[in-house]
Amino acid sequence: MSVASTPTSKSWQFPLRWGVFVVLAAAVALVVAERAYRVFEVQFAGAILKVITSSGVYVAGERETVYFGLSGTDPLGLRMTPECSSAFMLIPLFLVTAVMMWFRPRNTRRLFLSLAISAIAVILVNQLRILAIAGLVHWLGIDRGYYWGHTLLGSLVSVLGGALALVLFVWLGTRGSKGPKNRESAS
């Protein structure tokens, strides 16, 4: 006896191809527009910092830099470099989505949803990292605060947050529906 896979019906081939194309095009666009994305990230960080601090915040989007602590004795500017951006943490999510859409075309809608949720999680994790740096600089001073916030805590937040976002993506993208079909097979 041999195992045969279920062929993809013609009705799924068109959306499948477009879905994979859209996801891969978004990944390429993110790489190409990476600088503009970093400007978005510092604007977002500046907006959050303006809400949670009263020590003065300025965003220099053209330099991808957010300045904070301006009314204090230790103002600091954080420049969003390419390696500190969440853009390159998003690329693997796009690629995994495209591969999973190719091999599991019936999950395309669920994969788009899991990509959206996981991408938001990655972006928020990177914002949390920036807020941790700002908080530790305020608390410990520039030298110690930046070291602990960027090098240690920031790296830990990025790695754990990225890993959790990937696990969330796979879980959301591959879990079965809770419809009647699954309830019958569980009985």
**pLDDT tens digits, one per residue of 2-20:** 655 555 555 555 566 788 8
**pLDDT tens digits, one per residue of 29-76:** 999 999 999 999 999 999 999 999 888 899 998 899 999 888 877 788
**pLDDT tens digits, one per residue of 75-130:** 888 899 988 899 988 998 999 999 988 888 788 889 999 999 999 999 999 999 99
Q: 74-91 burial, b if ≥16 CB within 10 A, otherwise e?
A: ebbebebeeebbbbebbb
Percent of the chain with pLDDT over 90: 40
Listed as own residue / partner, the contacts of 155-161 with beta carbons closer than 8 Å and 24 or more positions apart are 157/125, 157/128, 157/129, 157/132, 158/89, 158/125, 158/126, 158/129, 161/121, 161/122, 161/125, 161/126, 161/128, 161/129
Q: How confident is the model at residue 23 (pLDDT cuts 50, 70, 90)?
A: very high
**pLDDT tens digits, one per residue of 131-186:** 998 888 888 888 898 889 888 888 888 889 888 998 999 898 888 655 555 444 44
Global model pTM greater than 0.75: yes
Bridge partner list, 60: 65
